[in-house]
Amino acid sequence: MDLELVMCLAGNLFGIYIISRFFSIFFETEGTQKRKGLRFFCYGFYYALNSMVSFCFHGPPPFIILSNVFGCLLVSWSYKGSWKHRLCAVTLILAVGIVCEDAVYYYLRNLHIEYLRIICVLVTNFLSFMIVLLLQKAIDLRHGKEFTFLEWVAVIVIPVCSLLISIAVLDECKDEITVVIGGLSMILINVLLFFLLDRIQEMYRSQLNLALLEQQNQAYESQMDLLRDSEEKISALRHDLKNHFFVLNQLAEQNQCEEIVRYIQELQTLDEGQTQMASTGNPVIDGFVNLKLNEAAALSADIKTELNISENMPIAAKDLIIILGNLLDNALRALSLCDTGRKLLTIRMSQERGILLIEVTNSYNGTIHKVGTALRTTKAKKEGHGIGLKNVQRVVDEYHGQMEIDYTEDLFSVRLVVFL
């Protein structure tokens, strides 16, 4: 088989993969089996059309451009979205491809290298691939997803190294089989590496969602425990109410005022244990906040709550858990490290005209100072101070809100404004 034909087919297949990754940035990839089948057919037709035009029309670029325009429009039709959205995505991916191809041919056109056309195709594909990966990471970062330094390095280093290795193989090797195997191997390695990287990221996000779901379930269970405990205590109190009134009546007839006071004080201790300090009607907030406030009560904290919110708020339950969970966990951790003095925990939440206000204030020991944008404490046990604030900021950014942090010598406060 002709070397140029093989590399042309492989390059077009790699180009289809690049376009599919690009469209996954702009469109939802999930859908019915019928839509997925239609998408697979469109990509297959685009690949066949582009391969035929690329192989049959080496010279006139208009034919190749027209086939790419038609193919991209056809593929975009298999995704859900408006025509304006589709045209924007198609125009952008075509612009990336044309700019990369023109730049590559401009810089390599005067080089006297064997297999120059194949090298240009590979360089164009790897350059387009790197641009699409960077664009994908930039958009994910804007949506609050975080990436490690190694992930950013991989996005740049893997395509560039593959490109350099491919050029070296094509320039040094004279055997066509070696050239084909080298070029195809580099393409396959890139596809597999980033496929595995995507799967690892999906697994990580799935584990994070499971952890959030577990916290949410814990909040519901806590709320149910509080309700069951309250119902049992009320039932027991109703059952014994006649006997208590009888005893009080006997003590009153005997003018034993001190005994009456003591007996009433004993009755008041019957509801000790878990108490329901939050009662907004929102099961997620009530369950989770009551769970954390009872933990604060166990630390002998002075607790104040002001919760003025509706039962149904237009904010995802998982986002509420991230915000309240991280803020209250940090507050509880700080309270547990307070050695002396008054322990204070204040929670304020209010909702008005599409704006949710959240403020958590707690006591702390030690000294806080900023290192860049991060907070550090001079307390001996540093693990946990400020943990989770970055996750809170990420959720607040998703709702185009604001987060303010303030602190004095003994009080730490976080205020959030979330637009619903």
**At a CB cut-off of 8 Å and minimum separation 6, what does 413 contact?**
359, 360, 361, 362, 405, 406, 407
Which CATH number is 319's domain given? 3.30.565.10
Class of residue 301 by CB neighbours under 10 A (exposed 0-12, middle 13-18, buried 19+): buried
In-domain check, residue 257: no
Final residue in a domain of this structure, among 209, 230, 260: 209
CA-closest candidate to residue 416, choices 332, 356, 354: 356
Mean of pLDDT over the chain: 75
Considering the domain architecture, whether residues 35 and 158 belong to the same structural domain is answered as yes
In-domain check, residue 239: no
Give the largest CA-CA distance in the chain: 117
Considering the domain architecture, whether residues 184 and 315 belong to the same structural domain is answered as no
Q: Poorest-confidence range of 43-52, 172-181, 255-264, 404-413?
A: 172-181
Task: Look up residue 169 and give its amino acid.
Answer: V
Quick check: 358 and 416 in contact, CB under 8 A?
A: yes
In-domain check, residue 326: yes
- Rounded to an integer, what distance in angstroms lies between the CA atom of residue 419 and that of residue 115? 57
Considering the domain architecture, whether residues 203 and 284 belong to the same structural domain is answered as no
The bridge status of strand 344-352 relative to strand 374-377 is unpaired
Considering the domain architecture, whether residues 194 and 285 belong to the same structural domain is answered as no
In-domain check, residue 220: no
- Rounded to an integer, what distance in angstroms lies between the CA atom of residue 330 and that of residue 389? 9
Instruction: Return the residue matching tokens 């997620």.
Output: 284
The pLDDT confidence band at residue 323, using thresholds 50, 70 and 90, is confident
In-domain check, residue 101: yes
Q: What domain count does the chain have?
A: 2
Considering the domain architecture, whether residues 300 and 182 belong to the same structural domain is answered as no
Strands (E), 132-237: none
Considering the domain architecture, whether residues 279 and 188 belong to the same structural domain is answered as no
The per-residue pLDDT for range 134-144, each reduced to its tens digit, is: 777 777 666 55
- Rounded to an integer, what distance in angstroms lies between the CA atom of residue 410 and that of residue 403? 20
Instruction: Return the residue matching tokens 């109703």.
Output: 238
Final residue in a domain of this structure, among 189, 209, 229: 209
Instruction: Return the residue matching tokens 């979205």.
Output: 81
**At a CB cut-off of 8 Å and minimum separation 6, what does 221 contact?**
287
Considering the domain architecture, whether residues 38 and 182 belong to the same structural domain is answered as yes
Considering the domain architecture, whether residues 40 and 158 belong to the same structural domain is answered as yes
Residue 387 CA from chain centroid, whole number: 16
The per-residue pLDDT for range 209-259, each reduced to its tens digit, is: 677 667 666 655 665 666 566 556 666 666 677 777 777 777 888 887 888
Residue 365 CA from chain centroid, whole number: 32
**At a CB cut-off of 8 Å and minimum separation 6, what does 369 contact?**
375, 376, 378
Considering the domain architecture, whether residues 153 and 8 belong to the same structural domain is answered as yes
Instruction: Give the per-residue pLDDT at 352.
Output: 83
Considering the domain architecture, whether residues 203 and 290 belong to the same structural domain is answered as no
Q: Which domain holds residue 75?
A: 3-209
- Rounded to an integer, what distance in angstroms lies between the CA atom of residue 123 and that of residue 125? 5
Final residue in a domain of this structure, among 209, 244, 266: 209
Instruction: Give the per-residue pLDDT at 213.
Output: 66
Is the full-model pTM beyond 0.85?
A: no
In-domain check, residue 231: no
Considering the domain architecture, whether residues 157 and 280 belong to the same structural domain is answered as no
Which residues partner with 361 through β-bridges?
346, 413
